[in-house]
Amino acid sequence: MSITYTIISFIIALGTLITFHEFGHYLVARWNRVKVLRFCIGFGQPIFRRRWGKDQTEWVIAAIPLGGYVKMLDENEGKVASEDLPRAFNRQPVARRFAIVAAGPIANFLLAIVLYWLIFILGVTGMKPVLGPIEPATPAAQAEFTMGETIVSIENEPVASWQDARWALLRYAVNQSANVKVQTINSNGEINLRKLDLSQIDPDKLNENFPGIIGFSGYQPIVKPVIGQVISDGVGYHAGILVGDEIIAINDTEIHTWMDFVQEIRTNPGNSVELDILRNDQLIMLKVTPEITLENGKQVGKIGVAPIVDQAKFEELLVTVSYSPGKALQKAAEKTWETTILTLQMLSKMITGDVSWKNVSGPISIADYAGQSAQMGLTSYLAFLALISVSIGVLNLLPIPILDGGHLMYYLIEMVKGSPLSDKAIIMGQKIGLVMLFTLMTFAIYNDISRLITG
């Protein structure tokens, strides 16, 4: 994936999310007859600037697409003509000011609902939740799940794909639930109700392959160790491996499936291995040295070959889930709510120290996710946008001075005490807010750099 593709995907994502957020502020301000002086997307040097409308609002697109703002007429920011005083933001009743500030995060939640609605109408293609081998000494093994079973529901919530199963399990894993009811059906049509104990799952590992930590893996049809493709100029090509070769053994270890073959190659990076190969009914031996490749900071071996795959068997495991417009809207609202709650739970666990701050992502990681999701297709990109939109909505509602949530906190205090906070208190709050925001961004960027270095 090219850097250019990643950057474009990132800019489109941030531009869309920030525009909707700021448009929420703008729209409610206009509904309340507050004069808007500037609507700006981005920071730094303007690359586009125009004035439109009765109020000659300045519309600006700036060079750095990492934020935006709506500047309203306000006596705290400069002189206001006497005829415009009724339209100044600071002259509005506290309820109106509250509504204008809250409109930004609310716009992000509404955007997430629209995006999820589109996803549920278009349909999501995924793998059926059929269980592969169960890892020993895991919660799944203790609950006596068996390979070949299909997950039907989790806590009475229907599950149609592995995406559904992963999302449902994540919600219960965050809370370290002790008895999660999972209903399965096997190939004989027998229905089983099993209880998963997730109380010992480390919340700090939830962004890894946590279904694997539970003991689950997706079922994969057995693929024979027969070569279907050899990458030209690769290690396998130079060793003399040909399409149609069947791998019988590696270093005298019998090979029965393609996964057996992959496992042996991966565990021998840089080490010469002997392959026993069946070619045209004749047994031959080749030596190959797997190329050293780094994956997640670990060295693994690869030789540049792929198997013959029976595509029909894999297509049998695919399922496309879609809904009618009405049902899709209901599901979209539920998904947005669940994502919001999950985000708040993760934040609270970071504050209490139950989850590491290493889970905080900065602009580099978000850009990478944007590029990856865009490459995977429209529905994946829309899902990414919806998730980030919810995150922006939640972040802006946190009671941190200088964020929307901080202003809302000020207005709530004003409603209770009957008068605004003093300028001294607001200035002190802004200083505290800047320190908190700077600390958060420092963590995020540090994590980004760490991920780049460690893979």
Ordered domains of the chain (ranges, CATH): 101-123+324-454 (no CATH), 130-214 (2.30.42.10), 226-309 (2.30.42.10)
104 contacts 51 by C-beta, under 8 angstroms: no
Whether residue 414 lies in the annotated active site: no
CA proximity to 36, closest of 19, 20, 56:
56
Partners of 167 in beta bridges? none
Q: How far apart are CA 203 and CA 212, in angstroms?
A: 14
10 contacts 371 by C-beta, under 8 angstroms: yes
pLDDT tens, N- to C-terminus, the chain (455 residues): 567 878 888 888 888 999 999 999 999 999 999 999 999 998 888 899 999 888 899 999 998 888 889 999 998 888 888 888 999 998 999 999 999 999 999 999 999 999 999 999 998 888 889 998 888 888 889 999 998 899 999 998 888 888 888 888 888 887 778 889 999 999 888 999 999 988 887 766 666 567 778 888 888 888 899 999 999 888 999 999 999 999 999 999 999 999 899 989 999 999 999 999 999 999 999 999 999 987 656 788 999 999 988 778 778 888 888 889 999 999 999 999 988 988 888 788 777 766 666 666 666 777 777 777 878 788 888 988 998 999 899 989 988 888 899 889 989 998 998 888 887 888 888 888 788 777 777 766 766 676 555 54
Q: How far apart are CA 240 and CA 254, in angstroms?
A: 20
CA proximity to 162, closest of 198, 199, 211, 126:
126
Burial class of residue 297 in the structure, from the number of CB atoms within 10 Å of its CB (0-12 exposed, 13-18 middle, 19+ buried): exposed
Residues in the chain: 455
- Annotated catalytic residue within 22, 75, 83, 315: 22
Distances (CA, A) of 305 to 111, 234, 359: 44, 8, 35
Q: How far apart are CA 267 and CA 300, in angstroms?
A: 6
Q: How far apart are CA 55 and CA 74, in angstroms?
A: 15
Structure tokens at 123: 């349909």
CA proximity to 267, closest of 285, 243, 242, 250:
250
* 216-218-219 Cα angle (round to 5): 120
DSSP code of residue 138: S
Q: How far apart are CA 265 and CA 71, in angstroms?
A: 60
Residues 6+ apart with CB under 8 A from 321: 120, 123, 124, 126, 160, 161, 164
